[in-house]
Chain A
Amino acid sequence: MSKTPVKLTVNGNPVEAEVEPRTLLIHFLREELGLTGPHIGCETSHCGACTVDMNGTSVKACTVFTVQANGADVLTVEGMAGADGSLHPLQEGFMAEHGLQCGYCTPGMILRAYRFLQENPNPSDEEIRWGISGNLCRCTGYQNIVKAIRYAADKMAAAGREAAE
């Protein structure tokens, strides 16, 4: 099968590869790049476990061909922590508020919440629920996920205020 060259940026690193056009981005990330943070839950565009950030929007990586991502900037949960290993406020929030049980949905939830909080830095709980309505969790009942996102929103707002002072 003929391959197509692609160049993209993943978690800040330039990546060049040759892929079959039908290779889904989720398979490329997991199997070619070894980034197994983004999960495959349903493979039918419903569960959001495969959510990554691409060119400033949240996308379901099981419903994007890698060739479509040629030239794109992609962020996965592996790219969330700081260079010094410090956790992102969302990662911290999921820990502090017990935002996960089995953890299967967590990388997708975190990446969706990451983009959502940039679109709406000070959301109501109801807005958070709509914001993550494309991500399913079979364990938590969502309550603690909402709290974890709230925790991150508050922490990021406080950091913003400090930076402004």
Chain B
Amino acid sequence: MIPGPFTYHRPSTVEEAVKLLGDLGDEARPLAGGHSLIPMMKLRLAVPEHLVDLQDIDGLSGIRDDGDTISIGAMTTQEDVLGSALLREKCPILPETSWLIADPQVRACGTVGGNVANGDPGNDMPALMQCLGATYVLQGTGGQRTVAARDYYQAAYFTAIEDGEILTEVRIPAPPAGHGWAYEKMKRKVGDYATAAAAVILTLSGGSCASASVALTNVGQTPIFVAAAGEALVGTAVDDAAINEAARQAREAAEPVADLRGPEDFRAHVAGVMVRRAVARARDRAR
């Protein structure tokens, strides 16, 4: 299991990194925590000629409270997310999701930027970011642009990012105080990708659901934002009938492939079960 040969670069500024990536074109890849890329390189599913390691770039990691927005630097690790008092208070679904990703060693290396930029349908953070309505900040030699998480994913490993760009930051609209949240993930063991998983954020007002957002992990080529599942909850008391309808919408939206985790029908069914559990838990947590 020896990866193919490559040239290693370790720039210390974003400008230098995007210049390198721009000049080297599609033979070059950014390297963050390496915990998706190195396994792919060992299998020779990825054979980049150049790796541009982002670890020395100042200002690419850290979690910032910008009032209405929470900004997470691309190189922030899953371990950093788990240790963040700010996120536990203002956006607890993030650490809840990190805890369900891989194991302690992988979380020590794996970054939020790598998780969302990767484009692997198995990654847990893309659906979470779609649920939260997050935006990704992309930097290239030509400047900066933003892409909504809900528009970023095109197919497995195909995303809106262009060669020569790096993702520098994820911006999350801070969910309202008192919101309910849950990330529910079915997996066979620690370190497994989801059979299916669901992210849910909702708000209640006078016992009735005022807003709801639902997204699914690993039941399609991309994460799936299920607008109809959220709509099925809004205006209801989030009772069994509403939850069943949201779960039905999720099953309909799911397009899983059969793999070691089970046949298509089963995985779509599990997507529904995850939505049912996540909605019920989010409702019980909402104030």
Contact = CB atoms under 8 A, between A and B. Distances in A.
Interface of A: 1-2, 4, 20-22, 24, 43-46, 48, 51, 57-60, 62-65, 67-68, 70, 112, 116, 130-131, 133-134
Given A112-B105, A133-B104, A22 B10 contact: no
B255 interface: no
A43 B3 CA distance: 12
Nearest to A58: B105
A130 B35 CA distance: 20
A65 B8 contact: yes
B80 to A, nearest CB: 11
Given A45-B38, A58-B108, A65-B34, 7 more contacts: A22-B4, A22-B6, A63-B109, A65-B8, A67-B53, A116-B104, A134-B103
Given A45-B39, A64-B34, A68-B53, A134 B5 contact: no
Contact of B42 (A20, A43, A57, A59): A43
Given A22-B3, A67-B8, A134 B105 contact: yes
A51 B6 CA distance: 24
A21 B103 contact: no
Contacts of B41: 22
A2 B39 contact: no
Interface of B: 1-8, 10, 31, 34-35, 38-39, 41-42, 51, 53, 55, 79, 102-106, 108-109, 190-191
A45 B1 CA distance: 11
Contacts of B4: 22
27 contacts: A4-B8, A20-B5, A21-B8, A22-B2, A22-B5, A22-B41, A24-B3, A44-B1, A44-B42, A48-B105, A51-B105, A57-B79, A57-B108, A59-B108, A60-B105, A60-B109, A65-B8, A65-B34, A65-B38, A67-B8, A112-B104, A116-B104, A130-B104, A133-B103, A133-B191, A134-B102, A134-B106
A36 to B, nearest CB: 18
A21 B79 contact: no
Contacts of A60: 105-106, 109
Contacts of B1: 43-44, 62
Nearest to B35: A63
A68 B31 contact: yes
Contacts of A44: 1, 39, 42
B190 A134 contact: yes
A32 to B, nearest CB: 15
A48 B31 CA distance: 22
Contact of A45 (B7, B104, B106): B106
B21 to A, nearest CB: 17
Nearest 7 pairs between A and B by C-beta? A134-B103, A21-B8, A57-B108, A133-B190, A43-B1, A134-B105, A67-B8
A21 B5 contact: yes
Contacts of B8: 4, 21, 65, 67
Contacts of A133: 103-104, 190-191
